[in-house]
Amino acid sequence: MITTTGQSIRFAASLMFVLAAVAATPAAAQSFPNKPIKLYVGFPPGGGSDALARLVGGAMPGRLNQQIVVDNKPGANTILATEYVKSQPADGYTLLFVSASFAINPSLYKLSYDIEKDLTPVGLVAMVPLLMVTYPGSGVGSVNELLAMAKKQPGKLTFASFGTGSAAHLAGEMLNSMTGSDLLHVPYKGSAPALADVMGGRITMMMPGIGSAIALAREGKLRALAVSTAKRASGAPEIPTVAESGVPGFDVGTWESIQAPGGTPPDVVSRLNTALREVTANAEIRAKMVAMGFEPEGARSPAETVAFIRNERNKFAKLVKERNIKAE
């Protein structure tokens, strides 16, 4: 009898412990976040990605009741920031703010991480249309005129980018691939020097992020030909898409997303995604994003973001292989 009673007591105690642990789990999840969150940007301060991260990061605390500290960890085409965040605890307190380079890098570099296994998408923040521009004295007034000139002078016309493997580079290579053109790629270390050479007529064409070029186009320092994405840009609806301008199906751009370390609990990811959705649904925030050259995309779920990034990775991998693109 004593043994049976002792076993019963131990069983009851174990059952109570399990039930208490189960009951505590939702409470622990609901307590997230209970300390500041760090959001690392893979680019230097002052650029478009940094500005958007600070805009969104500055608005999310109102939904999370915790501060978000934005920090910059530039280097190696966002690889350094990605490696760092991947190595941090999967608790939602260390996040990565990264662009399309996240999906491009696996095709160009031998990485120490797998973007699908070692990182967990919180959500897609925005799409970034690229703006095809040339210099006013180029004699080119449309995409068709640019392509006609390129076919008459194979290998003579040039296009700039802000680095090999960048979205601007791959957009130019996609144009070559889809039209049979032979525009020569000239990489630069950043958009500013590249745009300066386009404005000076030393480079024929470039496709930078629309936010960095639209003001120059409106001032007459550049000539805007088209936007690279499937839809026209909200901030410049008068400019046609490349697809509308004679290259059906052309759809290349960059984007910004928030990632967490792989293995971050789904409920934590969901909490962060909900905050992101609320921020990007705010009319004032959306207007600021559009003015900066971004198309708000925060309504996507984590699962939809996974599918989007996988599709982008496959698209870029195919292009890198086809065009035999090598990292610098």
User: For residue 191, what pLDDT is reported?
Assistant: 86
Q: For residues 266 and 319, state if they share a domain.
A: yes
| pLDDT, one tens digit for every residue, the chain (328 residues) | 444 445 544 444 444 444 444 444 444 456 899 999 999 999 999 889 999 999 999 999 999 999 999 999 999 999 999 999 999 999 999 999 999 999 999 999 999 999 999 999 999 999 999 999 999 999 999 999 999 999 999 999 999 998 899 999 999 999 999 999 999 999 998 889 999 999 999 999 999 999 989 999 999 999 999 999 999 999 999 999 999 999 999 999 999 999 999 999 999 999 999 999 999 999 999 999 999 999 999 899 999 999 999 999 999 999 999 999 998 7
As a dihedral over the C-alpha atoms of residue 51, residue 254, residue 209, residue 132, rounded to 10 degrees, the angle is -170
Are 280 and 196 part of one and the same domain?
A: no
The CA-atom distances, in angstroms, between 250 and each of 177, 192, 225, 238, 270 are: 10, 25, 14, 18, 33
Residue 99, in any domain of the structure: yes
- CATH code for position 258: 3.40.190.150
In this structure, are 80 and 40 located in the same domain? Answer: yes
Residue 222 lies in a domain: yes
The C-alpha atoms of residue 208 and residue 179 are separated, in whole angstroms, by: 20
- Is 315 domain-assigned? yes
Q: Of 227, 245, 278, which residue sits at a domain end?
A: 227
Provide the CB-side half-sphere exposure for 118 (13 A, CA).
Answer: 16
Q: Does 70 lie in the same domain as 93?
A: yes
What is the end-to-end Cα distance of the chain in Å, rounded?
78
Q: Provide the 8-state DSSP code for 140.
A: -
Give the chain's length.
Answer: 328
Report yes or no on 245 lying in a domain. Answer: no
Specify whether 141 is located in the same domain as 203: yes
> Are 121 and 266 within one domain?
yes
pLDDT value of position 313: 97
Q: What is the pLDDT of residue 30?
A: 64
Inside any domain, residue 294? yes
| Nearest residue to 140 (alpha-carbon basis) of 58, 204, 64 | 204
Nearest by Cα to 41 from 7, 78, 13: 78
Residue at 179 is within a domain: yes
Is 28 part of a structural domain of the chain?
A: no
* Within a domain: 9: no
The total domain count for the chain is 2
User: Do 52 and 110 belong to one domain?
Assistant: yes
Please check whether residues 114 and 47 belong to one and the same domain. Answer: yes
Q: What pLDDT sits at residue 92?
A: 98
The pLDDT, as a whole number, for residue 68 is 97
Q: Is residue 191 helix, strand or coil? A: helix
DSSP 8-state code for residue 277: H
Only one residue has tokens 């570099």, namely 109
CATH code, 159: 3.40.190.10
Q: Is 46 helix (H, G, I), strand (E, B) or coil?
A: coil
Residue 25, phi-psi category: left (phi > 0), alpha (psi -120 to 50), beta (remainder): alpha
Q: Are residues 101 and 172 in the same domain?
A: no
CA distances from 290 to 144, 213, 301, 309 (A): 28, 14, 21, 22
Residues 53 and 109 in one domain: yes
Do residues 115 and 156 both lie within one domain? no
At a CB cut-off of 8 Å and minimum separation 6, what does 322 contact?
177
Alpha helix stretches (DSSP H) within 37-78: 48-59, 61-64
Range of the domain at 299: 36-128+253-323
Place of tokens 């970034």: 128
pLDDT at 227: 98
Same domain for 207 and 262, yes or no, is no
